[in-house]
């Protein structure tokens, strides 16, 4: 059983550091499912799922091998929530733009991309049977373009799905440069319901990416409040 999260005041929550949850299933999942997921993010995701204001969909930007996707799916199931999960990823990795091989190996960037994508599919089909995410193979800018137009599209499992509407929780783990992450935030802001949450991966204060500047900007917005810094930032939309 997952330990219940205590209710903290906003001021106390803002100063949490690496709060974790203990769960046997998650321990086994993280052994078998490749991925980079901070224990602090798992805590924040757990908090968001246990406090989401509605059954509106959850969005994850960036999927890799499906670790965080499967964590979200499991925590939803454990909480009794049935929110649909949408994810988007193009599986185009930094340094792979010009093709070629991985270092001195015989593995090509193309083959690596296909391997990671197929691993993602295998992982979600095994670990998220009860709530398989709808994964759209596009960059986040293109995903929001489809979402805002309320398009009908086909996910990587061949399922037709209608896009559009508000999200209750968004996990941002795509391109971490300032320009891309800011566009992700602006697009999410247009589609996040009041009371909904947004968690930014790799947003801790000493990170090497461009999120430090963005976090300062989001903190200044009157319609968002910082609810967890663990050490990555999670905000709640309040107006």
- The answer to which of 1-10, 59-68, 133-142 has the lowest mean pLDDT is 1-10
Measured over the CA atoms of residue 116, residue 122, residue 126 and residue 128, the dihedral's sign is positive
What was the pLDDT predicted at 226? Answer: 98
What was the pLDDT predicted at 58? Answer: 98
pLDDT digits (tens, 9 = 90+) for 110-142: 999 999 999 999 999 999 999 999 999 999 999
The number of C-alpha atoms within 13 Å of 186 and in the hemisphere containing its C-beta is 9
Task: Work out the average pLDDT over 91-116.
Answer: 88
Measured over the CA atoms of residue 210, residue 211, residue 214 and residue 215, the dihedral's sign is negative
d(CA 186, CA 182) in angstroms, rounded, equals 6
The CATH number of the structural domain formed by 18-94+130-237 is: 3.40.50.150
pLDDT-based confidence at 98, cuts 50/70/90?
confident
Q: Which of 144, 124, 153, 135 is nearest to 90 (CA)?
A: 135
For the cut 90, the answer to whether the pLDDT of residue 1 exceeds it is no
Reported pTM? 0.90
Give the mean pLDDT of the chain: 91
What was the pLDDT predicted at 17? Answer: 57
What was the pLDDT predicted at 13? Answer: 42
């Amino acid at each position: 059983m997952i330990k219940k999260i205590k209710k903290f005041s906003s001021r106390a929550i803002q100063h949490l550091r690496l709060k974790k949850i203990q769960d046997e299933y998650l321990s086994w999942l993280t052994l078998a499912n490749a991925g980079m997921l901070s224990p602090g993010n798992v805590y924040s995701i757990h908090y968001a799922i246990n406090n989401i204001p509605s059954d509106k969909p959850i969005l994850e930007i960036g999927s890799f091998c499906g670790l965080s996707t499967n964590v979200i799916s499991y925590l939803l199931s454990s909480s009794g929530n049935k929110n649909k999960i949408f994810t988007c990823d193009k599986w185009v990795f930094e340094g792979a733009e010009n093709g070629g091989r991985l270092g001195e190996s015989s593995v090509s960037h193309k083959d690596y991309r296909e391997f990671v994508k197929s691993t993602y599919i295998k992982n979600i089909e095994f670990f998220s049977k009860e709530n398989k995410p709808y994964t759209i193979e596009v960059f986040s800018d293109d995903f929001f373009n489809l979402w805002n137009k309320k398009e009908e599209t086909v996910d990587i499992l061949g399922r037709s799905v209608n896009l559009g509407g508000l999200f209750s929780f968004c996990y941002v783990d795509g391109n971490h440069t300032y320009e891309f992450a800011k566009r992700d935030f602006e697009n999410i802001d247009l589609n996040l319901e009041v009371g909904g949450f947004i968690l930014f991966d790799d947003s801790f204060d000493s990170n090497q990416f461009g999120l430090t500047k963005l976090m300062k900007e989001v903190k200044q917005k009157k319609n968002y409040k910082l609810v967890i810094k663990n050490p990555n930032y999670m905000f709640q939309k309040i107006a």
